[in-house]
Structure 1
Amino acid sequence: MQNAKVISIVNFKGGVAKSTTSQFMAYGLAEKGYRVLLIDLDQQQNTTYTLMQDDLLDIEKSIYDVFMKNGNIKDTIYNAGAIDFIPSVPDMMQIDFELQGKPDQPYRLHEGLREVESDYDYIILDTPPASPTIIMNALTASNDCIIPVKADSYSLNGIGLLSNSIKPVQKYTNKNLKIVGFLLGFYDNRLLLSKGIKEQLEEVANIFETKIFEQTIRNAVALSEAQAMKQSIFEYAPTGKVTNDIRTFINEYLEGENDGN
């Protein structure tokens, strides 16, 4: 059985919809019949809050236990309808300190995923905006990296820092890591600002030796409403325009996989 493809959703800047992208990508792949595991690596627990039907205090095992080698990763997995997921806890903010100086520091997540990589087709990693150890672990464990970017005037801040993080991983801990592309969200093609950001992003994509996904994700309140209702966008607004955006993006990603791009 083929091992899962691991995809990191990464950007050092907060507020660019990393958690939202992780969630709709996981459920979008599941809608196509794939077995998907979504992992929340962010101590802010946005994805965990959305996917947990019970109180966050009910979490007994989390991704923190995987990093600290406390038992088997299979004991941390919860079900969230069409997908499985592993929750985060506030203790994740301590990882940078607790793993400092450990020789296997960049590989803790990669080693943990070995126990479940044959159980899924895709594993999606929702990363925090600022935790060098966690982001390095995510990129070291991943096949693909997708960078969500918000269509606003501050959207490109922090991209240089991200480049400085990805390059060492590609050189030392994961030579096969591929930056698949930039995903432009909160997009309104009627606004000159959105179009201008897209033009600037094309220059950045060339530096990263990658592309911008042709499909953009429009700014839609339905995404926030679905999260508040603890539903996937496919449940909450199955025929919505933004849901169609997402399905088109998922198809574009899968076509790129098949093309070897």
Structure 2
Amino acid sequence: MASVKTKALVIRESPYQDNDKLLTLFTEKYGKQRAIARGARRRKGTLRSVTQLFTYGDFMYFEGKNFANISDATLIESFYPLRGDIVKVTLASYVAELLDAFYDFYQGDPEMLKAVTHIFYYWSEHQAENDEALAVCFQLKLTRIQGLGPELTHCVRCGKREALSGFSIQDGGAVCKDCLKPGDVPIEGALITEMHRWMCEPIKTVCHTKWDDRRVRQGLDLMDRYITAQLGRRTKSYQFYKELSAQSSRQ
């Protein structure tokens, strides 16, 4: 069997047999892959450090019938500081869960991999003005790349660009005040404008810009509702994240 070498991010890990791990890798060249890391659970295993959740590295593996078998891996970035903050870990888990949900095996996108590693870096190095702004930025860019991005420049029902004051989960975008229906989400026009910025501006720009905390959270919640409708199921990690962040705000 020919070996494959590619950069990859670990987006899921689970125990496998006695000392191994079963990983889901989001690779640069070959999309999402399921791979076995032999001996990765041993204390002195050579693959132990590079097969942790959220680690980014150079992976070499042999393709198997059901799983790839990792033969070697070199750590590029562990994003280790992330692990010291349970709220950030949960937000990162949400990002990883969305990658897993939106891409089938062998499907991927190098630009999306680059985007996620940049977001993880900003979070782990405490560089973001608002951590949640990067999360909603990711939600919007991911849905756009998947061809599911919401319409945020004009009303999805009449095409009007003025007086946008709501969002339709069903129709997938902004609605004007004249087209609001029961079941639509009333939101400020300023939030619609900022959502369009989060979708289109570079991640670095979003990272270093100050945003209104309340609108960021509204955008994050709204996009999770939209994504839930697209996937047909809720994301477990986001529900846990909301519980944690609520607890933190009460302390």
What TM-score does the superposition give when structure 2 sets the normalisation length?
0.29
Which one has more relative contact order, counting CA pairs under 8 Å at least 6 apart?
1
Q: TM-score, normalised by structure 1?
A: 0.28
Q: As a proportion of its length, which structure holds more helix? A: 1
